[in-house]
A and B are shown apart, each in its own frame.
Chain A
Amino acid sequence: MSVAVARPPSRKIDFRYLHGQPRGPVCYLELGKPDAPPLVFLHGFGGDLLTWHYCLVGFVSRFRVIALDLPGHGRSTLDVGAGTLAEMVAWTGSALTALGIDGADLVGHSMGGKIAIAFALAHPGRVRSLQLIAPAGLGGPFDLPLLARFLDCATPETALDLASRLVGSASSALLGTLAKSLLTGADRGPRQAAFATLLGDATTIGSGIGEHGVPWDRIACPVQVIWGEEDTILPLPEPSRLSPGAPLTLLPGVGHLPQIESPGRVVPLLDRFLP
Chain B
Amino acid sequence: MIERVVAELQRILADKGETHGPITAGSLLLDGELPIDSLDLATLVVALEEQTGREPFKAGFRMFTTVGELATLFDEAA
- A, B from the same assembly: yes
Interface residues of A (CB under 8 A from B): 9-15, 29, 31, 50-54, 56-62, 173-174, 177, 263-264, 267-268, 271-272
Whether B39 and A60, one on each chain, are in contact in the complex, defined by CB atoms closer than 8 angstroms, is no
Whether A53 and B38, one on each chain, are in contact in the complex, defined by CB atoms closer than 8 angstroms, is yes
Whether B47 and A12, one on each chain, are in contact in the complex, defined by CB atoms closer than 8 angstroms, is yes
Whether B58 and A61, one on each chain, are in contact in the complex, defined by CB atoms closer than 8 angstroms, is yes
Q: How far is the CA of A50 from the CA of B2 in the complex (A)?
A: 25
Q: Which of B24-78 contact A (CB under 8 A)?
A: 30-31, 37-39, 41-43, 45-47, 49-50, 55, 57-58, 60-61, 63
Check B11 for interface membership: any CB of A closer than 8 A: yes
Q: Residue of A at shortest CB range from B29? A: A54
Name the one of B12, B43, B47, B61 contacting A268, with C-beta atoms under 8 angstroms.
B61
Whether B31 and A173, one on each chain, are in contact in the complex, defined by CB atoms closer than 8 angstroms, is yes
Question: Which residues in B have their C-beta under 8 angstroms from that of A264?
Answer: 63
Whether B46 and A12, one on each chain, are in contact in the complex, defined by CB atoms closer than 8 angstroms, is yes
Q: Residue of B at shortest CB range from A268? A: B61
Q: A10-B14, A61-B55, A177-B31 are in contact. List 7 more A-B contacts (CB 8 A).
A: A10-B15, A12-B46, A13-B42, A15-B39, A29-B39, A50-B37, A52-B38
Name the one of B14, B15, B31, B45 contacting A60, with C-beta atoms under 8 angstroms.
B45
CB<8 Å pairs between A and B, sample of 11: A10-B8, A12-B46, A13-B43, A13-B46, A29-B39, A53-B38, A57-B45, A58-B61, A61-B49, A177-B31, A268-B61
Whether B61 and A56, one on each chain, are in contact in the complex, defined by CB atoms closer than 8 angstroms, is no
Given A50-B38, A56-B38, A59-B57, A267-B15 contact (CB < 8 Å): no
Interface residues of B (CB under 8 A from A): 8, 11-12, 14-15, 30-31, 37-39, 41-43, 45-47, 49-50, 55, 57-58, 60-61, 63
Question: Which residues in A have their C-beta under 8 angstroms from that of B30?
Answer: 53-54
Given A9-B15, A10-B12, A53-B30, A60-B41 contact (CB < 8 Å): no
Whether B61 and A11, one on each chain, are in contact in the complex, defined by CB atoms closer than 8 angstroms, is no
Name the one of B11, B12, B14, B46 contacting A31, with C-beta atoms under 8 angstroms.
B46
Question: Which residues in B have their C-beta under 8 angstroms from that of A9?
Answer: 15
Q: How far is the CA of A174 from the CA of B45 in the complex (A)?
A: 23
Closest chain-A Cβ to B30's Cβ sits at a distance in Å of 6
Whether A267 and B47, one on each chain, are in contact in the complex, defined by CB atoms closer than 8 angstroms, is no
Whether A11 and B15, one on each chain, are in contact in the complex, defined by CB atoms closer than 8 angstroms, is yes
Q: Residue of B at shortest CB range from A58? A: B61
Q: How far is the CA of A268 from the CA of B59 in the complex (A)?
A: 11
Question: Which residues in A have their C-beta under 8 angstroms from that of B14?
Answer: 10
Whether A54 and B41, one on each chain, are in contact in the complex, defined by CB atoms closer than 8 angstroms, is yes
Closest chain-A Cβ to B9's Cβ sits at a distance in Å of 9
Question: Which residues in B have their C-beta under 8 angstroms from that of A54?
Answer: 30, 38, 41, 61, 63
Whether A12 and B31, one on each chain, are in contact in the complex, defined by CB atoms closer than 8 angstroms, is no
Q: Residue of A at shortest CB range from B59? A: A61
Q: How far is the CA of A41 from the CA of B58 in the complex (A)?
A: 19
Closest chain-B Cβ to A69's Cβ sits at a distance in Å of 12
Whether A271 and B49, one on each chain, are in contact in the complex, defined by CB atoms closer than 8 angstroms, is no
Question: Which residues in A have their C-beta under 8 angstroms from that of B57?
Answer: 57-61
Question: Which residues in B have their C-beta under 8 angstroms from that of A177?
Answer: 31
Whether A12 and B61, one on each chain, are in contact in the complex, defined by CB atoms closer than 8 angstroms, is no
Name the one of B31, B45, B49, B61 contacting A267, with C-beta atoms under 8 angstroms.
B61
Whether A62 and B58, one on each chain, are in contact in the complex, defined by CB atoms closer than 8 angstroms, is yes
